[in-house]
Structure 1
Amino acid sequence: MYRSFGNLKRFSVLFHFVIWFLATATLLRLALLAWQYDDVSWNAIAVLRTLFTGIFYDLGTVVFISVAGILYYVLLPNRWVGSLVDKILIWFFTALTIFVLVFAFFAELTFWDEFRTRFNFIAVDYLIYTHEVVSNIQESYPLPLLIGGVLLVTVVVLYVFYRRRAFAEAFSNPLSLRSRGLFLAVTLVVSALYVALVSNADAEWSPNRYNSEISKSGIYSFFAAFRNNQMKYSEFYTTIDNEKAFAIVRQKLGRANSRYSREGFSVHRTITDGLPSEEKKNVVFVLVESLSASFLKEFGNQQNITPFLDSLAQKSVFFENMYATGTRTVRGMEAVTLCIPPTPGQSIVKRPDNHNLYTVSNVFRKRQYQCNFFYGGDGYFDNMNSYFGGNGFNIYDRGRGSVLSDDINTTRRNVDDNEVTFENAWGICDEDIFNKMIKVADAHYQNHEPFFNFVMTTSNHRPFTYPDGKVSIPPGMSREGAVQYTDFALREMFKKAQGKPWFKNTVFVVVADHCASSAGKDEIDVANYHIPAFIVNMPVANRKIDKLCSQIDLWPTLFGLFHWNYESDFFGADVLDPAFEPRALLGTYRKLVLMKGREVMILSDQKKQSFYQWNKADNSLKSKPIQPDFFEETIAWYQTADYLFTNKLLQ
């Protein structure tokens, strides 16, 4: 085909590479369509648009990948064409590029298996934390077999190029000046058009999320996420006047027992309680990795993998209708420490200028509590140590030598090797981190210091490995096994804590950071934000709270049970207050959601929005006309949260 454009045989290898890439990317797209056979739209027009939209993005991807090679071909003088150096460079970089891309195609399949999406900001994050990711891959997949397979495919592709005389033609055909200029110009124009006019969001054309995701190119999506992992609300989303936005939120947060202490663009208020005395109890807070509500028998699961948590639901203040704010651990951490809706882009835990914020630790530290953060891995991952250390917590983790920044006034201690019985890519097992927490609690009790211990678990995470012989499902087999082990570890923690002198004066809070999966065919898979939450050992009657609520409401509810007077910049509210208005705030890094009852408003970047009725029975969303008041309230929650953080008004 390329012969008709003149003497372009010098580009023979490049043309073969482009055809191979487009064909392979299309085969991958077809494989993903087959994978999600029951979920994608098989309407003929939808399928064709999925495929042709994908080819369009694949073409842009391969152009960007090829720019460096094109520059080499165009700029190399003709007298060096076919020289030993030319042959070595073309063979080596062609082989290397194909190897990397074949690996990327395999990686897309594993990424899809985990997240049901093409590469996105999660993949960008994982690129930064290479130790955890590489270790996770080594423990989850047969890496020698995988690398061997990638090498084999690379060799086969190169052999096909060789047999088709792609290399021979490239090494024996110099380029005319006209051909160089024309080819370079076309490349630069096409690249510029993609950069200037094409957004990765343009691939999201279908109401069926799977069709839209499969339309994308994974590599193109990766670099789009790399560029846009922080998004200022006012630039990407529909806005209203700040005065109106804050007026709406202040009205929603106003209570008889609270008084706003600042005017205008603020939610800062003083919350008082009518009782003369406060409960000053120790608090152990456990944020459980990927604990979907759907794992519990309490919510219909018949696998009996959470017997302890199911029993705990009967003897605690149990939240039956709580929803996570996001799909990542750092979102859960943001929600339960700042009690704030999910701002677009990266979680605040990972952003700059996130030290000295007003978090729940401020409420505890004002009462002279020792605040500690426990993590079984290296807290450098996801910026956890910096965030927690910069907001008043002492750090206990399995650090590999990374240090806290100089501006953090806190203590960091490693979990020692002699305190570890089992460790995988993500850290020590849940039993070990709970044992460390109990040891620290013992020390605080001996020193007559009240404590707030925040524990982040790791065992319910791929590769799903944990100590042998603890539960019926063998380690490394499935997430269900990891959930069963986490349930076991929690039971053991409570059993050991009950024997401690500080137990009677300690409240335990257990809540998920997010669900195990959050992807579905609709814009937002509402059911996959439903999480369990427990407040245990409170001197109040056990109860089940069926009000719709959010992670951000957990601490205001507990502080209400404690009858505490405190300062608040929190967007969460006491669920047990008669004035509480049921609602949940949730989203992805680009979708921002307000749910009230079964109505769901979704704000999207590019200043788009949509309104749905959620059918809980089949977890589907049915489009409906936008209600102006609901729309403005949704904007208000997210616009004000973003405004306060970006303008450093939460410090």
Structure 2
Amino acid sequence: MTNLFKSRYAILLGFIIYFLLFSLLIRSILFISSSQHSEFTFFEVLRFYTVGLFFDLGTALVLTALYSAYLLIIPERFYHQKWNRIFTFLIFLFFLVITLFSFFAELTFWQEFESRFNFIAVDYLIYTYEVIHNINESYPLPLLIAGMLIIASVITYIFYRLKLFENSFDSRTPRKPRIVISSSLIILAILFATFIKNSAAEHGNNRYVNELSKAGIYSFFAAFKNNELNYHDFYSLIGNDSAFKIVRNQLNEKGTTFKGINSIYREIKGTAAPYKPNVILITVESLSADFLAHYGNTERLTPTLDSIADNSIFFSDMYATGTRTVRGMEALTLAIPPTPGSSIVRRMDNENLFTVGHVFKDKGYVNTFFYGGDGYFDNMNHFFGSNGYNIVDRGRKLLNETYAGTRTLIQDKDVTFENAWGICDGDIFNVVIKDADTKYKQHRLFNNFIMTTSNHRPYTFPDHKINMPVGSREAAVRYTDYAIGNFLNQIKTKPWFDNTVVIIVADHCASSAGKNEIDISKYQIPCMILNLKNQPKMNISKMTSQIDLFPTLWSLLGWNYTSEFYGKDVLADTYEPRVFLGTYQKLVYLKGDSLVLLSPQRKVDTYLYNKAKNEQKPFKLPLRTVNEGIANYQTAFDLFTDGKLRLK
């Protein structure tokens, strides 16, 4: 029997042991962090450590598979030469640094998203400029790099002291044992990569346990592989005719006339006297409901927003459709449930869709998307520019982009503060005011979509604006609230203000992680409409979705318009409260207290949701409710992928 620690496999085996030990350390750190948010039973702890070890070992075998093959095929006469020693040492250092960086990235990613690597991490690889600068501004990067190099040096020294390099290079490992060892390792790696899906780590409803059971690197490649999900291949289905019949019945409000079959295309007649104000939509980065005093916060982070909520049309029980900015943009422009995989904002063939901007353009408005960063990030410029919006952003340069809308770069003279994600909220609001002044002089109605950036890591903003130091989420929220208040005070003096409606809504919450697989409370966001003529302040306490915002506004404005939206007028007598929530794979339909959770492998779970206790208890719901959830997601996927959401 070959002693692996005295064979040419000594370095490989040592690397696997190192990887398992560090993975155990990272899992333990994440466990301690998660213990502040969720309780764990003994068996849950035992499960995620056991399952985690299995995933870590499989990942280690996959990482070392090519080196296993190399050890098999390189002849003895070459293996002992100096060039192989140098080559092996460089490969060892490379994988050592890469895995150490991965472990560090897992800790920072968990701090932000309380999750193992997912599609977000894959997306971030594309936008290296923003991500690298964000990391540099959020963490002492030189110290971290130095720390990783020191750790790598220590591990290398330990390998040296244990004589793993010496044993490997001085050994004589015959061909037959090499065939057995390498073949076994490679076959196990192939079997693991082929048959073990990342979702195999997910059992039960405690999301933290599921995430802790996974391995970070394996989760990353699983996310990369499954960036797009075909609803028909992975999710529960009902008949196409039945699905559209269910959705049309839900959307059939007073004054609605449907056109065609297996479609939601319809004409909606307004019931109030119509008027056309300018519209400024402020989409606030990561503004969870629980930052506001209205939802129980006692830190006085949002005095402006709390005051507005008391004197506006306030949607006090609204929910975001997803956990990323592009999901919020998707909901606020397309009024569609989240389809599995990436947001439509980031997908191919997302041009000339029937958007909120199309309705405004049809009424004579100029649509503009304002972003303090580079709109190339997350495909935002292409999406908005290809769907009826002009663009004003802080791009690094004008690209040869092929969309219809014009693009204007924010100039240095208009910038007082900037970080990795863009200019501060105060600066972007000043740019909006200048643009509105110009539009007013040109006698043009405007519909503005503003995306803020200050409430994003690294949480930095201009000095002397608030009495909190930079660097924390709470301080960033307080600054954004200050900037919104200052913006409103400025525009109240403008001649166009009396005919301008301002909407404030979050794109998503600051955190989506919780004890449940999808924690409903982590999707609740504030939304308010102010300065709407002849409309008294109102607290809309019905459960509503982001996708309902503009259909409700247009109803208040008395508009007639054509629609391909899933959003509804929540003030209508026939409105039945329901929301749509999703991650990249999990899709939720919540109607009242009935919760339907759709997952890949055509899995359907149903629960009763107790909002007061934030509890989800397994419960067999009526088939009608389950089919409503399936019908909405199935038809939304079909309409987009079949190109039926395009302008008629």
Show the counterpart of 2:485.
491
Contact 1:497 1:503 in 2 (8 A): yes
1:338 aligns with 2:334: yes
CA distance in 2, matches of 1:104, 1:252: 46
1:458 aligns with 2:453: yes
1:503 aligns with 2:497: yes
From the superposition, tell whether residues 404 and 312 of structure 1 become closer, same or farther in structure 2 (CA, over 3 Å): farther
Contact 2:62 2:193 in 1 (8 A): no
Show the counterpart of 1:273.
270
Contact 1:81 1:172 in 2 (8 A): no
1:620 aligns with 2:618: no
TM (norm. structure 1) is 0.97
2:303 to 297, 303, 307: 307
Show the counterpart of 2:359.
363
Q: Which moved more, 1:205-214 or 1:343-352?
A: 205-214
Show the counterpart of 2:387.
391
Letter in 1 for 2:7: K
Letter in 2 for 1:588: T
Q: Which moved more, 1:47-56 or 1:169-178?
A: 169-178
Kindly provide the CA deviation profile for residues 600-621 of structure 1, in whole angstroms up to 9, marking residues without a partner as x. 1111111112112222233221
CA distance in 2, matches of 1:121, 1:482: 25
Letter in 2 for 1:530: Q
1:537 to 519, 531, 535: 531
CA distance in 2, matches of 1:30, 1:139: 27
SS in 1 for 2:606: strand
Kindly provide the CA deviation profile for residues 179-228 of structure 1, in whole angstroms up to 9, marking residues without a partner as x. 33223322332122123311100100132111111000010000000011
Counterparts of residues 88-99 of structure 1 (less than 5 Å): 88-99=86-97
CA distance in 2, matches of 1:8, 1:233: 52
CA distance in 1, matches of 2:129, 2:191: 37
CA distance in 2, matches of 1:472, 1:618: 35
CA distance in 2, matches of 1:381, 1:341: 23
SS in 2 for 1:207: coil
Q: Which moved more, 1:619-628 or 1:490-499?
A: 619-628
Letter in 2 for 1:629: R
Counterparts of residues 311-330 of structure 1 (less than 5 Å): 311-330=307-326
Q: Which moved more, 1:31-40 or 1:229-238?
A: 31-40
1:512 aligns with 2:477: no
From the superposition, tell whether residues 465 and 73 of structure 1 become closer, same or farther in structure 2 (CA, over 3 Å): same
Show the counterpart of 1:583.
578
Letter in 1 for 2:434: K
Q: Could you tell me the percent identity over the aligned residues?
A: 49
Contact 1:41 1:208 in 2 (8 A): no
Counterparts of residues 23-422 of structure 1 (less than 5 Å): 23-40=21-38, 42-263=40-261, 265-275=262-272, 277-401=273-397, 403-406=399-402, 408-422=403-417
From the superposition, tell whether residues 459 and 370 of structure 1 become closer, same or farther in structure 2 (CA, over 3 Å): same
SS in 2 for 1:466: coil
CA distance in 1, matches of 2:429, 2:494: 14
C-alpha displacement at 1:433, in angstroms? Answer: 0.4
Letter in 1 for 2:268: I
CA distance in 1, matches of 2:344, 2:497: 33
From the superposition, tell whether residues 40 and 438 of structure 1 become closer, same or farther in structure 2 (CA, over 3 Å): closer
1:549 aligns with 2:544: yes
C-alpha displacement at 1:41, in angstroms? Answer: 5.3
SS in 2 for 1:10: coil
Q: Which moved more, 1:595-604 or 1:232-241?
A: 595-604
Contact 2:97 2:149 in 1 (8 A): yes
CA distance in 1, matches of 2:470, 2:33: 26
CA distance in 2, matches of 1:185, 1:315: 71
Contact 1:424 1:465 in 2 (8 A): yes
Contact 2:62 2:190 in 1 (8 A): no
Contact 1:325 1:341 in 2 (8 A): yes
1:527 to 512, 521, 531: 521
Kindly provide the CA deviation profile for residues 88-118 of structure 1, in whole angstroms up to 9, marking residues without a partner as x. 1111110121111112111111111111111
CA distance in 2, matches of 1:126, 1:402: 21
Letter in 1 for 2:66: A
C-alpha displacement at 1:23, in angstroms? Answer: 1.4
C-alpha displacement at 1:297, in angstroms? Answer: 0.8
Letter in 2 for 1:586: L
1:429 aligns with 2:432: no
Kindly provide the CA deviation profile for residues 399-457 of structure 1, in whole angstroms up to 9, marking residues without a partner as x. 11252533x11200100000000000100000100110111111111111111111000
Letter in 2 for 1:97: F
RMSD: 1.4
In the alignment of these two chains, the number of paired residues is 645
Contact 1:610 1:626 in 2 (8 A): no
Q: Which moved more, 1:193-202 or 1:148-157?
A: 193-202
Kindly provide the CA deviation profile for residues 287-341 of structure 1, in whole angstroms up to 9, marking residues without a partner as x. 1001111011111111111001011011111101110000000000000000000
1:609 aligns with 2:607: no
Kindly provide the CA deviation profile for residues 338-391 of structure 1, in whole angstroms up to 9, marking residues without a partner as x. 000000110000000001000011101112211100000000101100100010
Contact 1:380 1:402 in 2 (8 A): no
Kindly provide the CA deviation profile for residues 101-143 of structure 1, in whole angstroms up to 9, marking residues without a partner as x. 1121111111111111111111111111111110111001111
Contact 2:247 2:631 in 1 (8 A): yes
Contact 1:322 1:530 in 2 (8 A): yes
CA distance in 2, matches of 1:274, 1:609: 39
Task: Give the unaligned 5+ runs of structure 2.
Answer: none
CA distance in 2, matches of 1:227, 1:130: 20
CA distance in 1, matches of 2:234, 2:440: 50
Contact 1:284 1:454 in 2 (8 A): yes
Task: Give the unaligned 5+ runs of structure 1.
Answer: none
CA distance in 2, matches of 1:405, 1:256: 42
CA distance in 2, matches of 1:581, 1:211: 34
Letter in 2 for 1:161: F
Counterparts of residues 567-578 of structure 1 (less than 5 Å): 567-578=562-573
SS in 1 for 2:568: coil
CA distance in 2, matches of 1:389, 1:295: 33
Contact 1:326 1:586 in 2 (8 A): yes
Moved over 4 A (4+): 38-41
Letter in 2 for 1:179: P
CA distance in 2, matches of 1:147, 1:178: 42
CA distance in 2, matches of 1:543, 1:617: 23
CA distance in 2, matches of 1:634, 1:402: 43
Q: Which moved more, 1:559-568 or 1:184-193?
A: 184-193
Letter in 1 for 2:444: E
Contact 1:305 1:487 in 2 (8 A): yes
Contact 1:41 1:47 in 2 (8 A): no
CA distance in 1, matches of 2:259, 2:288: 38
